[in-house]
Structure 1
Amino acid sequence: MDTVDTIVIGAGVVGLAVAAQLSKKQANVLIIDKNAAFGEETSSRNSEVIHAGIYYPQNSLKAQFCVDGKHALYDYCRQRNIPFKQTGKLLVAQNPDEEAYLQQILDKATANGVDDLTWQSHGELKKTYPELSSSAALLSPSTGIIDVHTYMQSLLAEVEQNDGFFVARTRMLTAEKTDKGFIVTLDSQGESIRLFCRYLINSAGLHSETVAKNISGMPARHIPRLHWCRGHYFSYSGKSPFDKLIYPVPEQNAVGLGIHATLDMGGQLRFGPDTEYIDELNYAVADNLKPKFIRQIKRYFPNLSSEKLQPAYSGIRPKLQGSQDSFKDFVIQNEDIHGVSGLINLFGIESPGLTASLSIARHVGEQLDLM
């Protein structure tokens, strides 16, 4: 039976970041993914935003990893020539009630260590962004965008430089716990393969719940239920009236941040995502979503030209938060939680998972004493 040090299940941005981190200390890290290439699910179907860390409850993993990960990600991009833009973001209010919520956001951001937000008055906004409808806004200068595909390519290159490797079209069937590690049975393009590894990382994103259920000795009580939440995006043709990202004030206890305006690396304007809980993986974008998008976008962009708005793509997040639930944090489990030595489970790694990816990777390394 062939042996590797670590098997990382899932070649999304977080799985790749974890593999890159562990490969610095180990000779042979194997990443597997059931798809034909890396990053084909949640990691390639998002807004590509580097978040500042302003929304999340103080001391939550999302807050800690987002703020720390943001700085690490900008540094990584500069060091490895990964395309990014620190565009900044405007979080806009439309009335006094929403302005009061902005103040709460400002206080929360400060508690999280984000101290660069500035208040923008109606007059300032009207002068700088005449197309924007807003009574006031918060400017977040450390928010940005990134070329996620190039970032993932760089992480994989780092793994391969450290003698690790990636195998596509491969899924884990079972993992049997032994005294020294795991015997893992894989289906690789129809061929059954058994490997031994010392460490097993469940970073399967949308499928992490299923993977955990196929690991012997993993207590069922520590496997949370995942909710698949689809978000749709619409593209906008023509020149963007904004050079910053525009976010509306999110609804209280909302599962998303509202339909916001983002830019890609080429300056193309797009809007999304909305939120829709689903029971099966389906990336369709229905035409009848357009009126809802128009209605919500026109709250802050009243001159939106509806004929320039077209369906683009959708993404699906693995949320721990159900449609009626309050905030749910990342869940990252080690032996101290589930009792299985050498196993790390990552559940509910949705936004801000991209921003937090390098920080999450360091945390996993620390959990395994591989830093």
Structure 2
Amino acid sequence: MNDVDAIIVGAGAVGLAVGRSLAVRGCQVIVLEKNGRFGEETSSRNSEVIHAGLYYPTGSLKARLCVAGKHAMYAFCAKRGIEARALGKLILAPSSSDLAALEQLCARGHANDIPDLELIGPDRIKGMEPEIVAQAAIWSPSTGIVDSHSYMLALLGQIEDHGGSLAPFAPFLGATPIPNGFEVRVGGQEPIVLTTSKLILSAGLWSTHAGLAVDGLDPIHVPVTQFAKGNYFTYGAKTPFTHLIYPMPSAGGLGIHVTPDMNGHARFGPDVQHVETLDYRVDESRKSVFAASIKAYWPKIDERLMQADYSGIRPKIGKALTQFEDFQILDHTTHGLNGLMCLFGIDSPGLTSSFAIGEEVASRFGLP
């Protein structure tokens, strides 16, 4: 007999969604978190956007899980009174030279099972957002924003309702395969060893460390995690926007965009900076870069009113800083260790995809 049925390493949105998915299927779950609370890293330092799923290659995990996760998140939040608003998003083509790429992006979205996307022209754009300047845009009505903290709290609530628990200040030190599962070493003030039949690594920024700490997991299956920092700025005056405003996607990210928040204010960001350490101080020198990018579609912005807000750091693997890299969800068919599931490179759209990732993990474990 193992101590528990499943141990999840990492209590971000994805780890909690995995825990919920297993708990509601009858698994006794413990979620290990090295910090004092859930969601203190990537999950609490992002744009809180519910993405539609059009940016990702058709058939990829990101495309499939983002679209499924979007629908699941709206439904989950609606049942629990959590703020999740489909504000809609405009993806802008600032010049005629961008039209072909915009059309390709829209076609990809349709192929990814997002039928409500529309290509619209300048008159329609002006009617929706009078101060935006663009030649054309994709209108994505299912894109929205979510109160990510309340979402994560609700996921944890479902884990606890089904007998599971969150273990804060409980860093994952390593695991060793044993018959019918794993022996898991947990640190903290009172180190402990637990046994489990299922071990899920959802460690975000620390995924490489977690993977290398599993005895018997060939390092060839553990990608190096790189850190991509994104700065955010707020605006010291009322902004005119009622929808999310995005430029065309750029290398490694979706471009510096405008996100209205739950309180009617707006923030700009994120950008993409490769960093070596977790330093969350906002790089004030980036303000001019932000302003130049935003002026391409909102000429009236006053750079003097831009104020540093916060930053987030996203886990990237492979060449994700400059080109598309898919999520990696590795099970025994890849690495050969029964009961182990490894989640690597869960960057954007990780929040949107989280509920669907949880369902994917449960499915791969053969849970109905």
Q: Which TM-score tier does this pair reach, normalised by the shorter chain?
A: over 0.9
Q: Say yes or no: does 1:360 pair with 2:351.
A: no
Q: Shift in Å at residue 26 of structure 1?
A: 3.0
* Letter aligned with residue 275 of structure 2: I
TM-score of the superposition, structure 1-length normalised? Answer: 0.97
Map 1:51-130; keep pairs closer than 5 Å.
51-130=51-130
What RMSD in Å do the two structures reach over aligned CA positions? 1.3
Identity of aligned residues (%): 44
The residue that corresponds to 2:228 in the other structure is 229
Q: Which piece of structure 1 moves more, 79-88 or 149-158? A: 79-88
One-letter code aligned to 2:233:
F
Residue 69 (structure 1) shift: 1.0
Match of 2:245 in 1: 246
Deviation at 1:269, TM superposition (A): 0.5
Q: Distance in 2 between matches of 1:15 and 1:126?
A: 41
Which residue does the alignment assign to 2:257? 260
Q: Do residues 12 (structure 1) and 12 (structure 2) align?
A: yes
Q: Deviations over 1:51-103 (max 9, x none)?
A: 00011001000000011111111111111111111100000111111111110
1:196 maps to 195
Aligned to 1:343: 340
Question: What are the ranges of 5 or more consecutive residues in structure 2 without an aligned counterpart?
Answer: none
Once residues 48 and 204 of structure 1 are traced to their aligned partners in structure 2, the CA distance between those partners, rounded to angstroms, is 19
Which digits, 9 at most, give the CA deviation of each residue in 1:189-242, with x for residues without a partner?
A: x32211111110100001011101010110111111111100000011332211
Contact 1:277 1:323 in 2 (8 A): no
Deviates more, 1:116-125 or 1:309-318: 116-125
Distance 2:352 2:218 in 1: 30
Contact 2:31/2:166 (8 A) holds in 1: yes
Contact 1:255 1:321 in 2 (8 A): no
SS of the residue 1:47 aligns to = coil
Equivalent position SS for 2:125: helix
1:140–1:339: structure 2 CA closer, same or farther, 3 Å change rule? same
Amino acid at match of 2:158: E
Structure 1 unaligned residues grouped into runs of 5+: none
**Partner Cα separation in structure 2 for residue 281 and residue 14 of structure 1:** 20
Residue 90 of structure 1 aligns with an amino acid whose one-letter code is L
Number of residues paired by the alignment? Answer: 368
Counterpart residue identity of residue 150, structure 1: S
The answer to whether the Cα contact below 8 Å between 1:321 and 1:327 also exists between their aligned partners in 2 is: no
Alignment partner, residue 297 of structure 2: 300
Partner of 2:277: 280
Q: C-alpha distance in 2, partners of 1:134/1:142? A: 21
Superposed displacement of residue 27, structure 1: 4.6
Structure 1 counterpart of 2:345, one-letter code: G
User: Is the 8 Å Cα contact of residues 211 and 342 (structure 2) preserved in structure 1?
Assistant: yes
